[in-house]
Amino acid sequence: MSNAFTFHMSSTCRGPLTSAKPQLIDELKRTIRDVKDFPKPGIVFKDVTPLLLNIPLFGQAVKAMADPYRSAGITRVVSIESRGFLFGAPIALELGAGLVPIRKPGKLPAATQRVEYALEYGTDALEMHHDAVQPGDRVLIVDDVLATGGTANAAAQLVAGTGAAVTGFTFLIELDFLKGRQRLQGRRVEALLHYA
C-alpha cells in the first residue's frame, strides 16, 4: 500500500453527533439487535436490519448522520461495500450529492482505481471507478460501523489519490473499544451511536 497520498481534510475531529436527540439514540440502540457468535464465536454482531424495517426511525437515523455535513458543500458521498451502501444512498439524497460505491476488487464494471491495505493477517483491497471522483470534489465517506478503521482509512486514501478533498466520515455505529478513530486521526469523524 502506498503512503504517497496527500490529504485535503478538515483537522477537526468530533465525538458523538451533537445534533442527535437522546431519545433518538435510545430508540436506535433498542432497535439494533445483538447477534452473539456471528460471524464467528466471541463476536457480538450489531444487526441493523430491524432499523431498516422501521421506516420513520431509518429516516431519522439517515438525517442525523447527514446533518453535520449539510453546510460542508459535499459533492460526492462515497459508501463502502456493502452495508455502507444502505446508508450512503439516502445520505447522498439528503445532501444533494452524487453517490460513489467503493467495492472489493472485481465488482465494478468500468475502469477502476485501487488501494491495498493491511489486515491483521494479510492484505485486502478496495476499488472505485476512476471517473467517479474528480479533483475539486468534496467527499463524505459513509459506512455503517467504524471498528478498527482500516477500511475507512483505505477508502480515504483511495479518494485522496484522485485529488478530491475528503471532508469527513459519518458512521451509524462506532465501536469505541476498537479505537478505529485513531486511524482516522486529524479528520472529521461523526458517529451516531457509540458502544464502549
DSSP 4-58: -PPP--------B-TTS-HHHHHHHHHHSEEEET-SSTT-EEEE-HHHHH-HHHH
In tens, the pLDDT along 13-44 reads: 344 454 568 999 999 999 999 999 999 999 99
DSSP 168-191: EEEEEEEEGGG-HHHHTTTS-EEE
Structural domains in the chain, CATH included, are 72-195 (3.40.50.2020)
Residue with cell 450489531: 46
Distance CA 145, CA 67 (A): 18
Q: Are 31 and 49 in contact (CB under 8 A)?
A: no
Q: Are 162 and 182 in contact (CB under 8 A)?
A: no
The neighbouring-strand residues paired with 61 are: none
pLDDT for 119 equals: 79
In tens, the pLDDT along 60-100 reads: 999 999 999 999 999 999 999 999 999 999 999 999 999 99
| pLDDT-wise least confident of 36-50, 57-71, 119-133 | 119-133
Q: Write out the catalytic residue numbers.
A: 83, 120
Mean pLDDT value of segment 156-164: 96
Q: Are 174 and 193 in contact (CB under 8 A)?
A: yes
Residue 77 has which C-alpha cell?
458521498
Main-chain phi, psi angles of 152, to 5 degrees? -65, -40
Residue 116 to residues 55, 107, 111, Cα–Cα distance (Å): 36, 15, 17
